Amino acid sequence: MKIIDDFLPDAEAVRAAALCAPFEDVHAPDGEVYKRVCVTEVPGLVPALEAAVGPVDMLLTAYRLNFAGEQPNAAIHSDIGWGTHALVLYLCDGDGGTAFWRHKATGEHRIEPGDVPLWHAVRDDWNRPDAWDMRGLAALRFNRAVIYESALFHSRYPFAAFGDGPQDGRLIAVAFFNLRSA
Which runs of consecutive H residues, i.e. helices, occur in the chain? 11-19, 45-53, 116-122
Whole-angstrom Cα distance, residue 179 to residue 54? 7
- Tell me which of 28 and 65 has the higher pLDDT: 65
Residue 27: predicted pLDDT: 87
Decide: residue 88, CB within 10 A, 0-12 exposed, 13-18 middle, 19+ buried: buried
User: Are residues 145 and 47 in contact, defined by beta-carbon separation less than 8 angstroms?
Assistant: no
pLDDT at residue 146 tops 70 = yes
Residue 181: predicted pLDDT: 77
pLDDT at residue 53 tops 80 = yes
Domains of the chain: which residue ranges?
Answer: 2-179
2-179: CATH topology: Jelly Rolls (2.60.120)
- Tell me which of 172 and 81 has the higher pLDDT: 172
Residue 30: predicted pLDDT: 75
pLDDT at residue 182 tops 60 = no
> 102 falls in which pLDDT band (50, 70, 90)?
very high
The DSSP call for residue 77 is B
